[in-house]
Structure formats: C-alpha cells, structure tokens
Chain A
Amino acid sequence: MTSLPATTHKKLGLVIDLDTCVGCQACATSCKEWNAQGDGGPLSDTNPQGADISGPWLNRIHGYEVREEGRADSRMVNFPRSCLHCEEPACVTVCPTGASYKRAEDGIVLVNPETCIGCKLCSWACPYGAREYDYTQGVMKKCTLCVDRIYNTNLEPEDQIPACVRACPTGARHFGDLGDETSAVSQLVKERGGFDLFPQMGYKPTNKYLPPRARKESYASGVEPLLKGDGSVMEKLFLWADKLLTASKATAPVNPQDNSSKLEG
C-alpha cells in the first residue's frame, strides 16, 4: 500500500557529521558490498573494469567547497548522501504498484524488488536523488537502512547497525531512533544543531546532518610571518643571515607583502 502510515512507532535513521567526515568512501564501499548480497537482491555493476562503468549505488559522497562570509579561505565539506527515510515521502505515494512503501513500525522506506515495475516515477519524485534504477534488473534500488542487518540476531550485536555506520572510521555516521527524544542520536542532533536537507521541499527527512563546526581563527590574510620579533640574539642572527642571503639575489622582487623568503627559511 503506497498510502503513508499516519504515524510510525519509531523513526529509525542516520545522523551524519559533516565536520568529521573525511570523504574516504568507506561507507559507500561497505554499503555496496553488503547490499550486493543482501535481501534486496544483487546490486549490479555493469562493465566494472571498463571505461563506461555503471551501476546503482545507494550512498554517494559529494565534495563541496564552502566560502564563508568575510573569509577569503574556503573549506571543503565531504557530504555523504543517501535516502533520508522521509516522513512525507512522495516517492512512496506516486508508486502505482505498492512496491514502494514506508514501514509503520520503524519508518524505513523500502522497495519490494518482486513487485516493482521499473517505471522510475519514484526517482522523479525524490528531491534528494536517492533512488537509483538498476538497468540490469529493471527495478528501482534505494537505501534499506540495512533492514537485513539491524534486526538480524544472527549477527554480533556490534554488527546490528547499518553497514555504512559500521564501516565509518571517523565515527561520522550515527544510527538510532530519531523519534525518541532521549536517544543518543536525538541528543546529538540537539547538541550540534543538526539540520534537515532541503526542508523547502516539505518531505520532512528523518536523517539529520550535523553542520561543520565553526573555525576559531582565520588564516586568510596570506602566509603568517614565521618570525615574530622578540629581540633575542638568535633572532638578530637569523635576520642578519636573511639579509645577507636576500641581498645576494639581485633579481628578487622588492615586495613587502612577499613572505616567500621567510617561508623558505
């Protein structure tokens, strides 16, 4: 049934820390590896060793450059993006067959690969680009929040979490119930000011992102002078040596802003 449940008992989801993510792709690789043999059927790769590789991935890591107001230096943000298991997922309601559904018990959004007709309309309805079509199987693929791991008591307790969370070497990915205010993930969101992606679309994503932490000082004013005057004998010695060496370079540019000689020193 593609009508949405009025409420879900839990809101299972991920909290992704954009401050600690190093963009190593371990989560994406681990996701592909687990889901290539999971309940959802194989996750295909076409021509994997060739020039024209293709195949669905359920998690993709973008890199963004962010320039902040009043700073000349920008920062790089590694940005993992997967299904956000929204509370208002139009990808589910547009599905004509009922293959797409949102679970009432935990809020996970899934596709049944046995009944999907591959019309791709759900992927059109997703603003996050989270659903990828599998050309070899003719059905839509998406993040399952590792539903075949998190309830799998055959696995060790530490493995009963999504593969991406398990694989993250920096602890940038957290899994839990975002419907429970006392849960560790909810606390983390509260503490760090976790935010929704693209709230303007009105899909109410369950997954939250933690913003990169503010930087304390700016290194924007060019290269810091390595020598700070304290008037010591050693400093005078270095300055003398610096002058001696600089003077010998007749073609060196006379530019007070140029600190390159100091860098070299």
Chain B
Amino acid sequence: MNPAYSVIFFTVSSGAGYGLLALLGLVGNAHGRASSPGFAITAIAVALVLITAGLLSSTAHLGRPERAWRAFSQWRSSWLSREGIAAVVTYPIALVYGLVWSGMIEAPQWIGPLGLITALMCAITVFCTAMIYRQLTTIPAWANRFTVPVYLLIGLVTGSGLLNVISFIFGRFQTDAGKFMAFLTLMLIFGIIVLKWLYWRWLRRRKPQYSMAQATGLGEGVRQWEVPHTAANFIMKEMGHQIARAHARRLQQLCMLLLDVAFFACLFSPKYSWLVFVIAPSLLAAAWLERWLFFAQAEHVSQLFYGKEKI
C-alpha cells in the first residue's frame, strides 16, 4: 500500500497524544490532583495539540476535506466514522478532566472517575483507528491479531516517552515518581519490541492465502500476459506501491535498533535523568518507521489481477 505521509503523521501524532492523555488520566485516577497546575495544563495541552495536529493531517488525505463533517454519520457500519465520533467525544471530557485535575475547578472527588473515562475514551479512539485497518480482509498484513495491540501499545509507549520529558521539565522525573514512570516505560518498550518481532516473524513466515488463480477463476496455470492500460492507474499506484518495500528489511532493523536504544536509555534514566531526551525522540522515530512499514509491507489482493501471483 502507498504510505501516505498525512496518514502516517496522523496515526503517529494522535496515537502519541492519546497515549499521553490516557496516562495522564490514569495518573490522576491513582494519585488525585496534579503536583502543580502548570504541569497538568502543559501535559494536557501537549496531548491535545498532538491529537489535533494528527486529526487535521488526516483530513489532508481527503479529496474533499470540506465535507469531512459527513464522516460522523455512519457509525452503525463504519469504523472510520466511529473513530471520528470517538475523537470528538474525547475532547470535552479531556478538557473537563484537565480543569479538575489541575485544580482550576475544585472538585477532587471527580478526578478519579474523569481520569478513568478520559483514559477509556483514548483507548476506544485508538482501537477504532486500528479497526479501520484490522477489518480489511483485502490486506492480509493488516487483517490479523497483531494490528490492534500494536496500535494501542505504540500509542501508549510514545505517550509515556513524552510524559517522561514533561515530568523532567517540571522536576517530577527526578523524584521517586520518576523511577516508577521509567519502569512503566521500560515495560511498554519491551512489550512493543516483542510484539513487533512476533509480527515481522509472522509476516515473513506466513504462507500466501490468495492467488491469481482464485481471483481470476482461470486455474493454476494463469499468468499475466497484458496489462489493461499503457499508463499506471490509481489501483496500481495506491495498492501496488513497490518502491516502499525495497528497503523493508533494513528499515525493520533500524526500527528495532531505535527501540533498543530507547530501552537502554530508559534502563539508565533513573540514574541519568537527562536520558528522557533520548527516549522520546527514539520512540517517535521508531513509531514513524513502524507506521511507514505497516503501509509499505502491506499487499492488497487486487494486485492479483495485475500480475502478482500469490499474496
């Protein structure tokens, strides 16, 4: 599949935003009011800016962005529509939570429940995003058990990298709380390393499910003889993007290397707290590469009509 930058930026940026927001909700749920209003407002603002930038970027992918509001109507059948609704519903909840958690509105009894609801809405939104891809049986690299956990975990791990940075700036990471956060980030990084390793192994080893013979009904001896047109068409450009796959193996290794760098930086971050400035960029770069490969390595079954023999 053609890796569109607008969609990659959207899923990485808003994924990190929702991951951060979810962690902030859980922090409030566990500990009550934020250590300082400045910390709370900054952290919530960073999360919402990332989410908004991502959502705006996703509309750049549309042919008719001015009609984007129509996408809220088909929640009964469409995961894309559900994602849009979940994203919009999360905003006011996050804002109210931010006001209560930071102490700008005095209602400590509401911090716990609101934090939990905020975290839940973040999880629902990212889940909907993942389901947009997971549901497509036309793309075996997406329609499998890895897609949803990978989206949720990458959102959470990049969000926790950012939370460490914000905590460091407000002097929170250097305290005992920082040790717990470093531990949490470490576990999340470990989780995503294992998950992506399993996914790439599965992708490498999977036996092709679909063939040109099945698509055309012309038997096992079928082979492409003539393409329909002299110029590449939309289907070939969008679904048959091959250039992106050329360096897949090397980009996979680079992605894993970045995750490993983040892992070891995280391991030593309680002692050398400035390492938070290594963890977050490594994680974001790894997430960007992962998302690029998610698209580039995905083959669409329509290519079976265009000469691909097995997918």
Contacts and interface: CB of A to CB of B under 8 A. Distances in A.
A74 interface: yes
B70 A65 contact: no
B223 A64 contact: yes
A128 B138 CA distance: 9
A52 B231 contact: yes
B231 A54 contact: yes
Given A94-B135, A198-B214, A132 B234 contact: yes
Most buried by A among B73, B137, B218: B218
Given A69-B221, A117-B63, A117-B68, A125 B234 contact: no
Given A62-B224, A117-B64, A133-B238, A124 B136 contact: yes
Contact of A123 (B72, B135, B224, B234): B234
A212 to B, nearest CB: 8
B305 A124 contact: no
Interface string A63-89: 111111100001011010100000000
B138 A125 contact: yes
A92 B68 CA distance: 17
Contacts, number: 195
Nearest to A212: B218
A61 B305 CA distance: 10
A155 interface: no
A3 B77 CA distance: 6
B123 interface: no
A218 interface: no
Interface in B12-63: 61-63
B70 A115 contact: yes
Interface in A92-136: 92-99, 115-121, 123-129, 132-135
B64 A138 contact: yes
Contact of B67 (A97, A200, A211): A97
Contacts of A127: 137-138, 215, 301-302
Q: How large is the interface on A (under 10, 10 to 19, 20 to 34, 35 or more residues)?
A: 35 or more
Contact of A209 (B135, B217, B226): B217
B78 interface: yes
Interface in B204-231: 209-210, 214-219, 221-231
A175 interface: no
Given A94-B78, A97-B73, A201-B137, A133 B228 contact: no
Contacts of B102: none
Given A3-B76, A124-B300, A138-B63, A64 B222 contact: yes
A196 B70 CA distance: 34
A185 interface: no
A222 to B, nearest CB: 20
6 contacts: A3-B77, A67-B221, A115-B70, A117-B65, A119-B61, A133-B238
